[in-house]
């Protein structure tokens, strides 16, 4: 006689099932409740600035949709290019859902590059929200290029780019320009993107990128006045983790299209590295994460809250202005994009570190 499961095994399976059920029971009953609690939303950046504004935008909706309507306060812990706040969170936060962290591209980059200041591990954390943003690369109209189709024209020009630093988000344009064989001179020490934009407006630099909101407010007027020409966007990730056009700028090609049109390949070590950093810097720029070992009921409470607020009419009405026209990923979608944004192959890491230290005096010891 044949049994599918050996009797001895059957007992084991039953026991396993029973214990699993027993373990699952309290979770099912015990929904997380934050009534009367205060949640610290740690932002590893100073007051003001992109991440702080992003967090403060979310705070009232978190209070509204988290079970028990807790008070949520933004706790700014700046320093070390955001590594300090993230390190403190990794070392101190308890998995009770009362301390959460908001990361940004500047938190992902040092982690991906293997900066010695990083004492946090993205794999330990559970993402419950991913907020993408976008960016557009544009050039001075006097260079003669009319669109990204004129890459050949730009290859002959003397291009100057104002950068905040070789390991800042400006690493992405640096890698992209390399893929496109654009001869660009980098001038460092710009004060944020605003400072770089000012240098562009003064005619000191002639190629630049701005994130979506600043592009719409300050660069579109220059484009209309015939002073600037947009080339391409950084694109967003589709469901399969592939680069696609940015919904905010559907008429602009994304960087991959331009690389392909210019005769490059959308594959290989350098391309993969570029995509990894585009994702970590833009397509999945900001995450809300929960500490290591957070129980499932708390993760679910957060996921539900972030899900539900997406259909709040007030949220919908004000979201685009504050966060851009990008879908905010939650649950599984957030986890997929999180993996792409926080994993880089050892070969990629090695290559980009070598590239930075040989060409831009960046030290990684």
Residues that bind another protein (CB under 8 A): 40, 47-49, 52-53, 56-57, 59-60, 73-80, 84, 117, 160, 165-167, 185, 187-189, 191, 194-195, 197-199, 201-202, 204-205, 213-214, 216-218, 221, 318, 321-322, 360-363
Closest separation in Å from C-beta 48 to another protein: 3
Output DSSP code: residue 254. Answer: B
Closest separation in Å from C-beta 72 to another protein: 10
Closest separation in Å from C-beta 199 to another protein: 7
* CA–CA gap between residue 262 and residue 259 (Å, rounded): 5
**Closer of 197 and 254 to another protein (Cβ):** 197
Helix (H) or strand (E) holding 159: strand 159-162
**Closer of 47 and 269 to another protein (Cβ):** 47
**Closer of 166 and 262 to another protein (Cβ):** 166
SS (H, E, C) 195-239: HHHHHHHCCCCCEEEEEHHHHHHHHHHHHHCCCEEEEEECCEECC
Contact present, 42 and 102 (Cβ < 8 Å): yes
Could you tell me which of 104, 324, 312, 98 has the C-alpha nearest to residue 233? 324
Helix (H) or strand (E) holding 56: helix 50-65
Closest separation in Å from C-beta 280 to another protein: 19
3-class SS of residue 67: coil
Give strand pairing partners of 136.
210, 233
**Closer of 159 and 337 to another protein (Cβ):** 159
Contact present, 200 and 162 (Cβ < 8 Å): yes
**Closer of 51 and 336 to another protein (Cβ):** 51
**Closer of 254 and 286 to another protein (Cβ):** 286
* CA–CA gap between residue 118 and residue 7 (Å, rounded): 52
Closest separation in Å from C-beta 235 to another protein: 22
Closest separation in Å from C-beta 275 to another protein: 24
Closest separation in Å from C-beta 349 to another protein: 18
* CA–CA gap between residue 107 and residue 112 (Å, rounded): 9
* CA–CA gap between residue 182 and residue 176 (Å, rounded): 9
Give strand pairing partners of 289.
101, 127
């Amino acid at each position: 006689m044949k049994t599918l499961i050996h009797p001895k095994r059957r007992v084991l399976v039953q026991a396993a099932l029973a214990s699993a059920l027993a373990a699952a029971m309290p979770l099912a009953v015990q929904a997380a409740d934050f009534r009367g609690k205060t949640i610290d939303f740690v932002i590893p950046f100073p007051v003001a600035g992109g991440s702080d504004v992003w967090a403060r935008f979310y705070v009232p909706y978190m209070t509204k949709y988290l079970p028990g309507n807790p008070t949520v306060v933004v706790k700014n812990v700046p320093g070390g290019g955001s590594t300090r706040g993230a390190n403190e969170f990794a070392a101190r936060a308890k998995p009770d859902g009362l301390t959460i962290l908001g990361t940004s591209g500047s938190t992902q980059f040092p982690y991906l590059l293997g900066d010695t200041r990083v004492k946090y591990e993205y794999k330990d954390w559970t993402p419950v929200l991913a907020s993408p943003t976008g960016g557009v690369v544009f050039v001075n109209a006097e260079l003669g290029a009319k669109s990204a189709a004129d890459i050949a024209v730009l290859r002959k020009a003397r291009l100057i780019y104002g950068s905040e630093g070789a390991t800042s988000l400006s690493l992405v344009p640096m890698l992209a320009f390399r893929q496109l064989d654009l001869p660009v001179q980098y001038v460092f020490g710009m004060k944020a993107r605003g400072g770089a934009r000012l240098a562009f407006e003064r005619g000191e630099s002639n190629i630049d990128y701005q994130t979506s909101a600043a592009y719409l407010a300050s660069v579109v007027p220059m484009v209309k006045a015939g002073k600037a020409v947009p080339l391409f966007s950084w694109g967003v990730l589709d469901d399969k983790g592939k680069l696609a056009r940015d919904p905010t700028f559907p008429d602009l090609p994304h960087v991959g299209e331009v690389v392909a049109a210019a005769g490059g390949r959308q594959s290989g070590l350098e391309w993969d590295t570029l995509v990894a950093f585009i994702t970590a810097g833009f397509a999945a720029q900001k995450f809300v994460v929960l500490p290591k070992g957070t129980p499932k009921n708390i993760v679910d409470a957060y996921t539900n809250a972030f899900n539900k607020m997406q259909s709040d009419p007030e949220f919908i009405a004000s979201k685009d202005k504050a966060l851009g026209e990008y879908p905010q990923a939650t649950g599984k979608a957030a986890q997929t994009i999180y993996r792409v944004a926080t994993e880089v192959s050892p070969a990629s890491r090695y290559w980009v570190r070598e590239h930075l230290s040989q060409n831009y005096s960046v030290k990684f010891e």
